[in-house]
Amino acid sequence: MDQVNAPAVAQNRINALLYTLKVKVTNRFWGYVKDYFYEQRIYDAALVQNLNYKVASAQKKAVICYVTSSYFFDLENSSMGRTQPYEVLSIVKVLSDLGYCIDIIGCNDLKSLEHLKSKRYDLIFGFGEAFYQLTCLYPSAISILYMTEHHPDFSFREERKRLDYFKERHYKEPQSLRSGIFYKVHHLQKKYSHVITMSEVEPLQNQYKKPYTIFPSGIVNLQFDGKGKDYNITRKNFLWLGSTNAIHKGLDLLLDVFREKDDMVLHIGGLSQKDRKLLALPKRENLVDHGFIDIKSSAFAGLARTCSYLVLPSCAEGFATSVTTGMLHGLIPVVMKNTGFNRIAKYAVLLDDFKLDYLRPKLIELSEKDEEWLNDMSESVTAFAQTNFSICAFEQNFKDILTDIVVKHD
């Protein structure tokens, strides 16, 4: 028997030696170069562990699969332009108040799972491939799928329509854009303990009796003052505020509308260089490319005073934080029906179609609205946003949801 196992034993020893050598070489190399990457190490840590850890108690353990950046940025003095890091801090606060010890990993960071596999989790929260695999590793844990986007079935289908329509008009065929990066079809084929969505609940009701809903927060510009708008001018000004995936977010449609309407102005914020090249942004006075916009800057405050509308004909956004941010500054949202915004129908213009024959007259109609309607709508939008889109409102809503979930399981 010993002779039969001898080759395997020898191979195991070789593997162990090679692993030890690899670790030594890697550590030696890292010791030489790590200071050259000091800033990157601060802003790109993969794993956060043991938040709210209590030494002398048997704690429940939770893992969040989302983003880790909340704990590595100077949030007070940086212009991140994103709300997720603040929302993660609120999620951690709620879980801490419920007594959990918390770890955080990136939603698609599978390498972090190697560092967590010896632990036992009572609650798994988040999305992405890391979330999916953790729920398979810990089937008895409470699993909470967090949907910040629309259902992938809907997203893939609607995005395909946009790509085909773009090709029909411009004879280019861009690659698939956004769908499937964080929410894959097989993730949604599995049923979790609960689901919280920022988007529409209908696609989830086949699996879940009670999908929870929550609004994302928005960013506030303290320099903004919306008083004294000249609506005769602002009603002709529309703001598209995005980043990457401009076709998914409908910017190509808006360009085709505004290139034919000299008396209407489209302001474009956050367009990526890749999308700028793909869309071949025409040089026209009524198409203003502002590049990256710091929401907390005087430039954004000026834009919010210049425009009446935040227009985002996205095919499957979920509930875009550009919309929450615009609404916090009195901008009337012009968004697609059934893409995450049905809950705010009273405070938004919901578009029934994305085709130009529908979109063009609809935007022209909005550009001719009277001052009284614009003023009343803007005030209603602002009041609703201030009540529902603050980080305090997000934290309270999340607390209500998690308390309900934990009480049910306890």
Q: Is residue 312 part of a domain?
A: yes
Cβ pair 362, 258 in contact under 8 A: no
Same domain, 180 and 238: no
Q: Which of 288, 200, 282, 170 is nearest to 240 (CA)?
A: 288
Residues 373 and 282 in one domain: yes
List residues bridging with 103 in a β-sheet: 63
DSSP per-residue codes, 287-337 = EEE--S--TTSHHHHHHHHH-SEEEE--SS-SS-HHHHHHHHTTPEEEEET
Q: Indicate whether 300 and 355 sit together in one domain.
A: yes
pLDDT in tens, 21-77: 776 777 776 566 666 665 665 666 779 999 999 987 789 999 999 999 888 877 776
Cβ–Cβ < 8 Å for 217, 148: no
Percent of the chain with pLDDT over 70: 91
pLDDT at 190 over 50: yes
Residues 264 and 383 in one domain: yes
Lowest-confidence segment of 5-14, 82-91, 282-291 by average pLDDT: 5-14
Average pLDDT value for residue range 320-342: 96
Cα distances from 62 to residues 110, 115, 144, 258, in angstroms, run 17, 15, 11, 49
Residue 177 scores a pLDDT above 70: no
- Domain span at residue 118 reads 44-217+390-410
Distances (CA, A) of 395 to 148, 217, 219, 378, 400: 15, 9, 15, 25, 9
**SS3 assignment, position 262:** coil
Residue 14 lies in a domain: no
Kindly state whether residue 223 falls inside one of the protein's structural domains.
no
Residue 309: give its domain's CATH number: 3.40.50.2000
User: Is residue 294 domain-resident?
Assistant: yes
Order across the sheet with 265-269: list the strands.
287-289, 265-269, 237-241, 309-312, 332-336, 349-351
Structural domain count, the chain:
2
pLDDT per position as a tens digit, 70-106: 888 777 766 666 788 899 999 999 999 999 999 999 9
Domain identity same for 267 and 374: yes
Q: What's the pTM?
A: 0.88
Give the DSSP letter string of 206-245: TT-SS-EE--------TT---TT--HHHHTTEEEEE--S-
The residue assigned the tokens 């919280």 is 196
Mean pLDDT calculated for residue range 177-182: 69
CA dihedral 174, 175, 180, 182 (to 10 degrees): -90
Tens-place pLDDT, residues 337-369: 999 999 999 999 999 999 999 999 999 999 999
Judgement on whether residues 172 and 48 belong to the same structural domain of the protein = yes
Residues 162 and 196 reside in one and the same domain: yes
Asked if residue 245 and residue 119 are part of one domain, the reply reads no
Residue type, 17: L
**Is there a single domain that holds both residue 164 and residue 263?**
no
Two tokens, residue 71: 């704990």
Q: What is the pLDDT of residues 110-142, one digit of tens each?
A: 999 999 988 999 999 999 999 999 999 999 999
**Are 151 and 199 contacting, i.e. CB atoms less than 8 angstroms apart?**
yes
Q: Same structural domain for residues 105 and 238?
A: no
